[in-house]
Amino acid sequence: MNRDYIYQTFTRTICSKCGGLIDGKIVYNEKGVFILKNCRTCGEHFEILEEDFQYHLQKYKYDKQGTKSGTQTIISRGCPYDCGLCENHDQHTCIGLIEITRRCNLSCPICYARAVDDADLPLHLVEKMMDFYMSAENNRAEILQISGGEPTLHEYIIDIIGMAKHKGFKYVMLNTNGVRIAEDENFVREIAKFRGGFEIYLQFDGLENKVYSRLRGKNLVSIKKKAIKNLNKYNVPTTLVATIEGGVSDHLCGEILVYGMNQPCVRGVNYQPVSYYGNIDAPPDRVTLSGVLNRIEKQTNKMIKTSDFIPLPCNVERVAITYLFKDKDGFIPVIRDRDLSEFKRFIGNTFMFTLEDALENFNDGSKIFNVCACCDFINDIKKYSPGNFILKSKEEKMKFVDENTFRISVSSFVDKYNFDMKSMQKECVHIITTDLRRIPFSAYNMIHRSA
Ligand code: SF4
Ligand code: SF4
């Protein structure tokens, strides 16, 4: 009798029951892609890795070499216990995240930052962490996320954003639940001054109070609307960050996108399927990255299709992205019906992959346009951008990209259920710790975060 799956590849994984490091197989059939775990103590079990096996199989066309980076720790107990970064880690830091406080004005049931009444990090330590991140990335660190807890509660939040801009990070993001943004207009006026390489990363789970009640423990629709109103008023570039949980908010993927597209301040939406850390059990209907893509297609009546997304080459396992271009008739998906896999060598190992970056990568190579089938894509971008785009100043380019493009991305993180070693070792979102290490976001929340 045949098995009811195809064996794709071998992996190292974690037993979802006892937490031991074990061998596993990545297998698939028409129902999805699974990690087959065979634990000597707990027996055989399957965990969902991706809902759409076709997306999973084609994503490797976009895979490319990681970027080498310095290390802070040695290999000793094995991954994921040696963070980090240790020599086994295969990708540099695309996004460095500094948690400047553990205080929060919400207490979300799904919170893995374990918000507590704790002291804020002192300014001099935050500066030291920024400097460490910059030097660990050979002074080319691009994206800094200021996070928490709720970072807007930090007494010196304005100084911290200013400091980050001064240090030369290309993009500074403020991860916030939006409560202070909604309630303190003066604060919004202040942060608006950082426009240009500054963005609000706004927790936004749609416009249904029952969803907030489940995910955040509180009805928050009016707060979110007020926050968006203030951000629109002061034109502060914003990404909506939507947590997607099966049976709770997965019916809202399309609605959140359409809402975002109609808000002048919103430059993109990032979807994050819920990860399950601590004692929270993963439900049988957990949502995956490809599941979010399929829901977006279905819930927008194919206005945006699964095939409009590309796996991001810096981490094809866990990030997918697409861009829309705004013109007078609406939004145009710039990647539609194109196979961009040949284009991957021109895509930097960085999360943003903005159209600005794409245009700059192609700037020195008109010859590329003659040999690469992807040139149509770039020519299309060029068609929508001003003729003298390349000659514009950095600030003017950022402003143009900011105001004329819309980014949709999906990031899925690793937990003990969907753990596969490659996903773990390619992860490029790293927590910068107070003892000056870089720990991949998932490993940090799975095992390294102190109580
Ligand atoms: S997650 Fe990366 S840094 Fe951490 S132990 Fe594994 S390879 Fe090393
Ligand atoms: S807003 Fe963020 S930090 Fe605060 S409790 Fe919710 S998830 Fe945790």
Phi first, then psi, for residue 273 (nearest 5°) are -55, 140
Q: List, chain by chain if needed, residues with CB within 6 Å of any ligand 2 atom.
A: 104, 106-108, 111, 113, 115, 148-150, 177
Q: How many domains does the chain divide into?
A: 3
The string over 25-52, giving b where at least 16 C-beta atoms fall within 10 Å of a residue's C-beta and e elsewhere, is bbbbeeebbbbbbebeeeeeeebbbbbb
Tell whether 205 is covered by a domain: yes
Tell whether 325 is covered by a domain: no
Judge if 48 and 102 occupy the same domain. no
Tell whether 175 is covered by a domain: yes
**Ligand 1: does its nearest atom lie under 6 Å from the Cβ of 80?**
yes
Q: CATH number of the domain that 218 lies in?
A: 3.20.20.70
Tell whether 178 is covered by a domain: yes
Judge if 39 and 77 occupy the same domain. no
Tell whether 154 is covered by a domain: yes
Mutate to test the pocket of ligand 1, among 424, 427, 437, 438 (most ligand atoms within 8 A of CB): 424
Atom of ligand 2 nearest to the CA of 105: 4
Judge if 422 and 350 occupy the same domain. no
Tell whether 378 is covered by a domain: yes
Judge if 133 and 41 occupy the same domain. no
Domain that holds residue 43: 6-61
Mutate to test the pocket of ligand 1, among 75, 81, 88 (most ligand atoms within 8 A of CB): 88
Judge if 280 and 252 occupy the same domain. yes
The pLDDT tens digits along the chain (451 residues) read 999 999 999 999 999 999 999 999 999 999 999 999 999 999 999 999 999 999 999 999 988 889 888 899 999 999 999 998 999 999 999 999 999 999 999 999 988 776 666 789 999 999 999 999 999 999 989 899 999 999 999 999 999 999 999 999 989 999 999 999 999 999 999 999 999 889 999 999 999 999 999 999 999 999 999 999 999 999 999 999 999 999 999 999 999 999 999 999 999 999 999 999 877 788 888 999 999 999 999 999 999 999 999 898 889 999 998 888 877 777 888 777 666 665 555 555 554 445 555 555 544 443 333 333 334 445 555 555 666 666 667 667 667 766 778 999 999 999 999 999 999 999 999 999 999 999 999 999 999 987 6
Q: Which ligand is nearest to the CA of 216?
A: 2
Which residues pair with residue 268 across a beta bridge? 239, 407
What distance in Å separates the CA atoms of residue 97 and residue 446, rounded to the nearest whole number?
Answer: 16
State the DSSP H helix or E strand holding residue 53, giving kind and residue range, or none if neither.
Answer: helix 53-58
Judge if 28 and 95 occupy the same domain. no
Q: Which residue's alpha carbon is nearest to atom 1 within ligand 1?
A: 80
Phi first, then psi, for residue 398 (nearest 5°) are -60, -40
Judge if 198 and 222 occupy the same domain. yes
The string over 250-286, giving b where at least 16 C-beta atoms fall within 10 Å of a residue's C-beta and e elsewhere, is bbbbbbbbebbbeeebbbbbbbbbbbbbeeeebeeeb
Report CA(324)–ligand 1 centroid distance (Å). 34
Nearest to 110 by CA among 189, 22, 250, 218: 218
Q: What is the pTM of this model?
A: 0.91
Q: Which two tokens stand for residue 259?
A: 């809402």
